[in-house]
Amino acid sequence: MATDTDTLAATQRLVDSEYGYGFVTEVEEDRAPKGLNEGVVRYISAKKEEPQWLLDWRLRAFRAWEERYLPAGDPTWAKLRYPPINYQDAFYYAAPKSQADRPRSLDEVDPELLKTYDKLGIPLHEREVLAGVAVDAVFDSVSVATTYKAALAEKGIIFCAMSEAVREHSDLVKKYLGTVVPYSDNSFATLNSAVFSDGTFVYVPPGVRCPMELSTYFRINAENTGQFERTLVIADKGSYVSYLEGCTAPMRDENQLHAAVVELVALDDAEIKYSTVQNWYPGNKHGEGGIYNFVTKRGACRGRNSKISWTQVETGSAITWKYPSCILQGDNSVGEFYSVAVTNNYQQADTGTKMIHIGANTRSTIISKSISAGHAQNTYRGLVRIQPRAHSARNFTQCDGLLLGDRCGAHTVPYIEVKNSGARVEHEASTSRISDDQLFYCMQRGLGAEDGVNLIVNGFCKVVFQSLPMEFAVEAQKLLEVSLEGSIG
Amino acid sequence: MLEIKGLHVSVQGSVILNGLDLTVPEGEVHAIMGPNGSGKSTLSYTMAGREGYVATDGQILYRGVNLLKMSPEDRAREGMFMAFQYPVEIPGVSVLYFLKAALNAHRKHRGEKEVDAIEFLKLARSNADTLGMDHEMLNRQVNMGFSGGEKKRCEILQMAILQPQLLVLDETDSGLDIDALKVVAKGVNNLRSENRTILLITHYQRLLSHVVPDKVHVLSGGRIVASGGKDLALTLERKGYAEFSTEAA
């Protein structure tokens, strides 16, 4: 009963607060001018009422970007082709869209998007949220979020928006922000450090096992943070947390350039499991439009016996540039990377991981499955580095590429650096087509060509799906089917 | 009834079947025997609708409908089953999952309700029991790491679950030890009924002493060159195919 009362109260607060901010009248003032300069960085920081240290940090990042990365241009080593990005032709800060600015109902939303929601079986009220339809309050997810918050607070777990964390838990943010991905790490991460809009902060106290999967899906106030999102997850000694990012439903977004940063820190005996399903708009069948997704994700296994495991299912975006990595610093620490990357039509993906073995007896596993169809190009790029002190370190890497059709490409670019003679590194790679034999076998048993392909592709990805949380795995499987629709014909 | 009339088939431009005629009445088991390269596998692939097997002339009528005009999956859903000579591996997909997907495709086609996982597990286990197979096979990946015998048993299990009306077994007996051969024979004999049509394509007489055919045909040079009762198989075993081959040439 108490929960019900809380829920109602919280919902009421939310409704009240929205009206209180008066979004409708203030739209124009809440947008920074086009282009990127020091003034914009200061504007963002001021809008968010940030402490001086964070403004200074943003400014250091901005200067590094301006002096080092802007003149040099974007990195060119990835197997990706796209026209140069005009950074001065974009907005870097906009307050959440007002109700008046949004589609009034699903009737005003792109019918293609609705069709996809239908195929994925997304409940009606969730479709409205995903498509950005103006709704007063989403009662279901508000109540779920409220219930979550109470359960988490009881265990001392912090799970909130980054801007809230900067206000409420400044010391923790200051202690860890930028310690895994330095502000000047690469051009996209540097850009993000200067202008990040918002994101998620998680802290799990020592010895606490987070009782539920933490999902951005249930986090309110998450709107419009997609473009330059900043996530920081800290698992203190002996704790455990599983974090789900993204959503299988295609998200509507008007910003083409996305440059997110995710930092994970695992202390002694702690474990972080980070699962992503990425389904940003991939562009149309002719390769027009679509999101450019340049993400820097890195986890530090700082403590002894710590573990970080990345699982990603990448089906969206016109361009994916993403290498979720592990720095295995603590002795006996473990890093894992499980990935399924699907590219269709004219999508391009250059994705993989870095496993940096520093501590003794560190272990890492890399399983990468890529599926290419249409004219798509799919590259696995991965680094395994064994440092001199990493005695008895072990790595196992398996990269498999599956081709559908004869106009797409799968590429594997492994980098292996071993500086300790007691280490053991294994690398297996394969590229194959769905064979006519397999497809005919399925069809002879009564499966249509598309169902046959889906079955074979799902089998191919099974090891990765198995490492996803159960519900996510089912959704991911469905998503793959929708992504590859029409690739056989 | 299955009626194949004047069937001509080319594979990659070369003529393999050359005016094949064959009639198999409902409820009968017919064996097709022939030397290597006589067109045995081409016949089964053409019946199943494999791409690249081009019927340049003739018809394959099953219950009055020309199979050649149907997609491979529709032939399967209408009750045609082919047991493969070389069953194909599908990594990451369990036998159970594969078969459930297949059965549900059939049921959907017939306008019946799909079976759920629990219902299907019961069905699969009871069929495995009938054929004396280990339940463990159901959880293994389709044909992955299976021995030759296991692959053929798995084909028979699939056949038992899908309950086809028109069965084509393409050299299912080749390379089997006696135990596996008995499982295959049992699977076929269990399905023998008034409304089923069964075609056993084989090189040897061995299987035919366990599944006694109503008729035996000799395939040579892309057409049926001789037909007879079950004793014809024994004659072939004794004398070989030599005299039929010359006849055809």
CA contacts within 13 A on the Cβ side of A298: 21
Looking at chain A, the whole-number percentage of residues with pLDDT higher than 90 is: 45
Between A205 and B177, residue with greater pLDDT:
A205
Between B233 and B72, residue with greater pLDDT:
B72
Interchain contact, B90 vs A459, CB within 8 Å: yes
Please tell me the pTM assigned to this model. 0.80
Over range B89-110, report the average pLDDT: 94
Domain presence at residue B63: yes
CA distances in angstroms from A192 to A8, A203, A247, A251, listed in the order given: 37, 21, 22, 20
**pLDDT for A27 beyond 50:** no
Between A111 and A410, residue with greater pLDDT:
A410
In tens, the pLDDT along A465-488 reads 888 887 777 778 777 777 777 666
Domain presence at residue B160: no
Question: How far is the alpha carbon of B239 from chain A, nearest alpha carbon, in Å?
Answer: 36
Residue B72 is nearest to which of A435, A444, A455, comparing CB atoms? A444
Is B6 in the same domain as B76?
yes
Is B174 in the same domain as B243?
yes
Domain presence at residue B133: yes
Is B65 in the same domain as B180?
yes
CATH number at residue B63: 3.40.50.300
Separation CA A32–CA A36 (nearest Å): 9
Quick one: pLDDT at residue A221? Answer: 35
Between A383 and B243, residue with greater pLDDT:
A383
Domain presence at residue B92: yes
Separation CA A354–CA A364 (nearest Å): 10
Quick one: pLDDT at residue A11? Answer: 39
CB A257 within 8 A of CB A195: no
Is B122 in the same domain as B66?
no
**pLDDT for A14 beyond 80:** no
pLDDT band at A9 (very low <50, low <70, confident <90, very high): very low
**pLDDT for A263 beyond 80:** yes
In tens, the pLDDT along A369-381 reads 999 988 999 999 9
Domain presence at residue B152: no
Is B108 in the same domain as B218?
no
Is B186 in the same domain as B131?
no
Domain count, chain B: 2
**pLDDT for A382 beyond 60:** yes
Q: What Rg, from alpha-carbon coordinates, does chain A have? A: 22
Is B175 in the same domain as B108?
no
Domain presence at residue B158: no
**pLDDT for B132 beyond 90:** no
| Contacts A480 to B, Cβ<8 Å | none
CA contacts within 13 A on the Cβ side of A442: 24
In tens, the pLDDT along A158-184 reads 988 888 899 999 999 999 999 999 999
> Which residues, at least 6 apart from B73, have a Cβ–Cβ distance to it below 8 Å?
A443, A444, A446, A447, A448, A449, B105
Over range A64-80, report the average pLDDT: 87
Domain presence at residue B75: yes
What is the rounded average pLDDT for all residues in chain A?
Answer: 81
Is B125 in the same domain as B226?
no
Interchain contact, A451 vs B87, CB within 8 Å: no
Quick one: pLDDT at residue A278? Answer: 81
Quick one: pLDDT at residue A229? Answer: 87
Question: Does the beta carbon of A125 lie under 8 angstroms from any beta carbon of chain B?
Answer: no
Question: Does the beta carbon of B112 lie under 8 angstroms from any beta carbon of chain A?
Answer: no
Quick one: pLDDT at residue A469? Answer: 80
Interchain contact, A436 vs B106, CB within 8 Å: no
Quick one: pLDDT at residue A475? Answer: 78
Interchain contact, B90 vs A442, CB within 8 Å: yes
Interchain contact, A446 vs B71, CB within 8 Å: no
Is B50 in the same domain as B12?
yes
Is B182 in the same domain as B196?
yes
Domain presence at residue B159: no
pLDDT band at A19 (very low <50, low <70, confident <90, very high): very low
In tens, the pLDDT along A268-279 reads 999 999 998 888
Q: Taking each helix axis as running N to C, give the angle between helix A111-120 and helix A470-483, from 0 to 180 degrees, rounded to the nearest 10.
A: 130
Looking at chain A, the whole-number percentage of residues with pLDDT higher than 70 is: 78
A123: its two tokens: 């409940």
Question: Does the beta carbon of A489 lie under 8 angstroms from any beta carbon of chain B?
Answer: no
Interchain contact, A458 vs B73, CB within 8 Å: no
Q: What is the ipTM of this complex?
A: 0.95
pLDDT band at A15 (very low <50, low <70, confident <90, very high): very low
Quick one: pLDDT at residue A3? Answer: 39
Is B140 in the same domain as B26?
no
In degrees rounded to 5, what are phi and psi of residue A69? -90, -35
Domain that holds residue B123: 88-145
In tens, the pLDDT along A303-315 reads 999 999 999 998 8
Is B125 in the same domain as B188?
no
**pLDDT for A280 beyond 90:** no
In tens, the pLDDT along A211-233 reads 888 876 543 333 444 578 899 99
Question: Does the beta carbon of A440 lie under 8 angstroms from any beta carbon of chain B?
Answer: yes
Per mean pLDDT, which range of A223-227, A291-295, B7-11 is the poorest? A223-227
